[in-house]
């Protein structure tokens, strides 16, 4: 265990580690700073806290920067794509190490057993956990450590402090945005809510079961207005799981932010996009709504517990696109229940969306995330996985596929992979042929684009 220093002099490094080299093909564009780390920084104002974003830096660069800072505490947000790099960092940098994020939370016992450089993991909301850890209070809520697991305490997010946007150089990100999206683009991310109304979660979803919690709409609106005016933003992107989950909350946001000036972008469930809501989105100058269709087949939607139907998808998409608002459509291919018929339905459904005017699509291969039913399914078939804290993406996918009924594919995982990849390409090409654009991630992903992506 690394030496604990006096909390009065604490230097805290909040780090998003560089992506593992083998996952470079799914690297984020890096046009926005890590919102989750800025939220944590806001509760550590009385410490010397700095944010280190590894999206555009390699392991050597981040290591050097952290060694120069010489932090007392290193808090790292880890996920499936950067965990291995994070563990190399943990061994190389000074300071007590705590991990956060869904990946770390669900694998905390394995991480603490296998990684001596990691002292603790936070589960669920990280604000109280990181504060306690920095202060040397190992009894703080939401901490998991070698001495045990502390009780979970869900934050009342209504009056949380504004994320510490000042801890990053926003101009660096604006410059990146200009490189990617053009000279007149300037966007920041915000979050108005935590959690998802769909319960229990979809089978592929690796987030906590923490319910839905809303920030105070007046405080949130004031935060957005302040930063729009301060930075001259042309776009506001709210990263809530589904911005429209509470109609009363959204109505207040609508009344405060319509006419503000910039375009808006957010995530939404299709079953929340009725005529009234779509009209309100238009009033607010929404440019795009991200809809996670996940599948164009109703049997797959039932299997994954999506609690939506393809009919709802088509109806809501017709309304949104008809109002002149873009839809950013996302699919996950290769989920349990996938067969020749469902793959045919996926292609047919994308054709229907294209006829409605869909211009952007992401066709992702399923990721096996810790804490999900898919992960438990793999563990049941391959018990040795339970003790591991690190996984190869494609290896876990193939393990998952091997548990399927692959009779439509000659019982072969290779044949199944070939078929889902070719289907994904057909789905993607359908949108490209209509002048749209596409991206995706996953198994042997091929980078495809047919236009500017925002």
Per-residue pLDDT of the chain (454 residues; tens, 9 = 90+): 555 544 456 999 999 999 998 887 777 788 999 999 999 999 999 999 999 999 989 999 999 999 999 999 999 999 999 999 999 999 999 999 999 999 999 999 999 999 999 999 999 999 999 999 999 999 999 999 999 999 999 889 999 899 999 999 999 999 999 999 999 999 999 999 988 888 778 999 988 777 789 999 999 999 999 999 999 999 999 999 889 999 999 999 999 999 999 999 999 999 999 999 999 999 999 999 999 999 999 999 999 999 999 999 999 999 999 999 999 999 999 999 999 999 999 999 999 999 999 999 999 999 999 999 999 999 999 999 999 999 999 999 999 999 999 999 999 999 999 999 999 999 999 999 999 998 754 323 333 333 323 3
CA 252 to chain centre: 26
Helix (H, G, I), strand (E, B), or coil: what is residue 212? coil
State how far the alpha carbon of 430 is from the alpha carbons of 6, 238, 442, in Å. Answer: 60, 29, 19
Q: What is the pLDDT of residue 99?
A: 99
Q: What is the pLDDT of residue 29?
A: 80
Q: Which of 110, 111, 114, 85 is nearest to 98 (CA)?
A: 111
Pinpoint the alpha helices (H) of 382-442: 393-401, 413-432
Listed in sequence order, the residues at least 6 apart from 429 whose beta carbon sits closer than 8 Å to its beta carbon are: none
Q: Which of 360, 357, 273 is nearest to 308 (CA)?
A: 273
d(CA 250, CA 165): 24
d(CA 398, CA 378): 10
Helix (H, G, I), strand (E, B), or coil: what is residue 16? strand
Q: What is the pLDDT of residue 246?
A: 94
Helix (H, G, I), strand (E, B), or coil: what is residue 48? strand
User: pTM for the full model?
Assistant: 0.92
β 213-214/193-194 pair status: antiparallel
Q: What is the pLDDT of residue 454?
A: 34
Q: What is the pLDDT of residue 8?
A: 57
Orientation angle between helical segments 275-283 and 247-257, nearest 10 degrees? 30
Q: What is the pLDDT of residue 1?
A: 54
Domains in the chain, CATH or no CATH each = 7-159 (3.40.50.280), 186-439 (3.20.20.70)
Pinpoint the alpha helices (H) of 82-169: 83-92, 102-106, 108-114, 127-134
Q: What is the pLDDT of residue 452?
A: 29
Q: What is the pLDDT of residue 350?
A: 99
Orientation angle between helical segments 310-322 and 340-356, nearest 10 degrees? 20
d(CA 439, CA 355): 20
Q: What is the pLDDT of residue 151?
A: 93
């Amino acid at each position: 265990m690394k030496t604990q220093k006096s909390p009065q002099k604490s230097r805290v490094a909040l780090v998003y580690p560089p992506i593992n080299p083998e996952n470079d093909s799914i690297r984020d564009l890096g046009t926005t700073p890590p919102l989750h780390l800025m939220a944590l920084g806001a509760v550590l104002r009385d410490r010397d806290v700095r944010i280190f974003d590894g999206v555009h830096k390699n392991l050597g660069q981040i290591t050097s920067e952290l060694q120069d800072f010489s932090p007392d505490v290193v808090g790292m947000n880890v996920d499936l794509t950067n965990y291995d790099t994070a563990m190399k960092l943990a061994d190389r940098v000074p300071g007590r190490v705590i991990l956060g994020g869904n990946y770390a939370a669900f694998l905390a016992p394995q991480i603490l057993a296998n990684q001596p450089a990691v002292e603790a993991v936070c589960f669920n909301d990280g604000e109280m956990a990181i504060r306690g850890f920095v202060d040397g209070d190992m009894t703080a809520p939401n901490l998991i450590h070698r001495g045990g697991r502390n009780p979970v305490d869900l934050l009342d997010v209504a009056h949380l402090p504004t994320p510490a946007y000042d801890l990053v150089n926003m101009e660096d990100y604006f410059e990146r945005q200009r490189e990617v999206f053009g000279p007149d683009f300037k966007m920041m991310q915000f979050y108005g809510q935590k959690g998802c109304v769909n319960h229990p979660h979809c089978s592929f979803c690796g987030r906590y079961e923490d319910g839905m919690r809303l920030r105070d709409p007046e405080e949130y609106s004031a935060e957005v207005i302040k930063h729009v005016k301060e930075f001259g933003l042309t776009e506001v992107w709210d990263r809530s799981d589904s911005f429209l989950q509470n109609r009363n909350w959204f109505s207040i946001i609508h009344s405060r932010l319509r006419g503000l000036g910039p375009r808006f972008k957010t995530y939404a469930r299709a079953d929340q996009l009725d005529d009234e809501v779509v009209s309100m989105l238009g009033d607010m100058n929404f440019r795009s709504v991200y809809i996670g269709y996940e599948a164009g087949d109703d049997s797959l939607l039932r299997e994954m517990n999506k609690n939506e139907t393809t009919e709802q998808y088509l109806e809501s998409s017709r309304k949104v696109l008809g109002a002149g608002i873009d839809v950013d459509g996302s699919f996950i291919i290769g989920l349990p229940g996938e067969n020749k018929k469902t793959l045919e339905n996926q292609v047919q459904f994308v054709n229907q969306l294209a006829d409605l005017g869909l211009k952007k699509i992401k066709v992702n291969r399923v990721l096996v995330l810790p804490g999900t039913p898919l992960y438990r399914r793999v563990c049941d078939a391959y018990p040795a996985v339970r003790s591991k804290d690190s996984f190869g993406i494609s290896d876990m996918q193939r393990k998952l596929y091997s548990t399927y009924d692959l009779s439509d594919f000659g019982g072969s995982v290779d044949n199944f992979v070939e078929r889902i990849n070719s289907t994904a390409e057909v789905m993607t090409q359908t949108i490209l042929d209509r002048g749209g654009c596409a991206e995706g991630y996953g198994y042997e992903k091929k980078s495809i684009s047919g236009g500017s992506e925002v």
